[in-house]
A = this chain, B = another copy of it.
């Protein structure tokens, strides 16, 4: 593996000059540059990243923190973020952190060692140590998700609570009053969306029945199926279901269909996220769409300006959402 010294020797110049052609500022005679370029070509030289990072005292890498198994929404935002990062020529480090406290701290430790330029967090972290560390070290951070705990970093997201309320209100407007909910574990966006559900019900003077709420353990379709089963066991009087995630909704619909119910004739279902799949299942899913492309772009744009301008930004950035009415909800007969 060629290093800068060999290139310099081959081109008959000093390492300083070779370095100069790589970093372009300052003067290099055209003829010399040509000779060096040739030597680079010949040796296949590529600067050693570690050495560069050491003198620069920082990596040109931003880390993406994601959950253990990410859902379709997170997959999409990940793709967008990764592409944008590449656009700005950052390296992309992948950090997987499950929702277990211990795992989260292990993830943090890896981050510590890496001297990252910045971090984009795509799911809620529960350990306060994360924010504490990142903010004392002044590591630019952006959350492209709901910020559960208090962060010193900006969080880009929609108003989960309002959006959920809009979804539930949609059901109420269709005449439903017995509306069940499939939530996730009791924190993060799950609890915010559930709160929105409660608010919408309260506003319509509908009493909240604990038995018509069920908590799924993950956000997979399988969990949605399972959750729908539990819901059916503990209550049978609902005419509509609000699922806090499209995957959960799709899994639930599958269960209800298996039980012979017709959607939306016998039961209306709303989801949340508008993943690609939502418009391909039957019935097509009525759901809340997040401006995912914008969220991803904004996240790296913001992070990039934090890194380059050294200005610390914070606070929530709320983006608009829309209810997309498709085929899984109908007027109560």
Complex contacts, A48 vs chain B, CB 8 Å: 54, 113, 115
Chain B: CB-nearest residue to A137: B1
B49 touches A114 (CB 8 A): yes
List 29 A-B residue pairs with CB atoms under 8 Å apart, sorted by A's residue number. A1-B115, A46-B112, A46-B113, A48-B54, A48-B115, A49-B50, A49-B59, A49-B114, A50-B54, A54-B54, A68-B83, A69-B79, A70-B75, A79-B96, A82-B96, A86-B96, A91-B110, A91-B114, A92-B96, A93-B93, A93-B94, A94-B94, A225-B280, A250-B277, A250-B280, A257-B282, A280-B281, A281-B281, A282-B282
Q: Is the CB of A222 within 8 A of B276?
A: yes
Question: Are B225 and A254 touching (Cβ within 8 A)?
Answer: no
A220 to B222, CA, bound (A): 22
Q: Say whether chain A's binding surface is mostly helix, strand, loop, or mixed.
A: helix
Within the complex, what minimum Cβ distance (angstroms) separates A256 from chain B? 11
Per-position 1/0 for A68-93, Cβ under 8 A of B: 11101001000100110010000111
Shortest beta-carbon contacts, A-B, top 6: A50-B53, A46-B112, A92-B94, A50-B54, A50-B50, A221-B280
Tell me, rounded to whole Å, the shortest Cβ–Cβ distance linking A326 to chain B: 12
A47 close to chain B: CB less than 8 A: yes
| Interface membership of A251, Cβ < 8 A | yes
What residue in chain B is nearest A225 (Cβ atoms)? B280
Question: With contacts A49-B115, A68-B83, A277-B277 known, what are 14 further pairs, Cβ within 8 A?
Answer: A46-B113, A48-B54, A50-B51, A54-B54, A75-B75, A91-B114, A92-B95, A92-B96, A93-B93, A221-B280, A250-B277, A251-B280, A254-B282, A280-B281
CB-CB under 8 A from A50, the residues of chain B are: 49-51, 53-54, 59, 115
Binding site for B on A (CB under 8 A): 1, 46-51, 53-54, 59, 64, 68-70, 72, 75, 79, 82-83, 86, 91-96, 109-110, 112-115, 137, 220-222, 225, 250-251, 254, 257, 276-277, 280-282
A51 partner residues in chain B, CB cutoff 8 A: 50, 54
Residues of B within 8 A of A94 (CB): 64, 82, 92-94
- Chain B residues, CB < 8 A from A95: 92
How many Å lie between the Cα of A68 and that of B86 in the bound state? 11
The distance in angstroms between the C-alpha atoms of A95 and B113, with both chains bound, is 20
Point out the residue from B75, B93, B221 that lies within 8 Å of A92, measured CB to CB. Answer: B93
Given the complex, which residues of B lie within 8 Å of A86, measured CB to CB? 96
A110, B60: Cα distance in complex, Å: 11
Bound-state Cα–Cα, A27 to B112, Å: 27
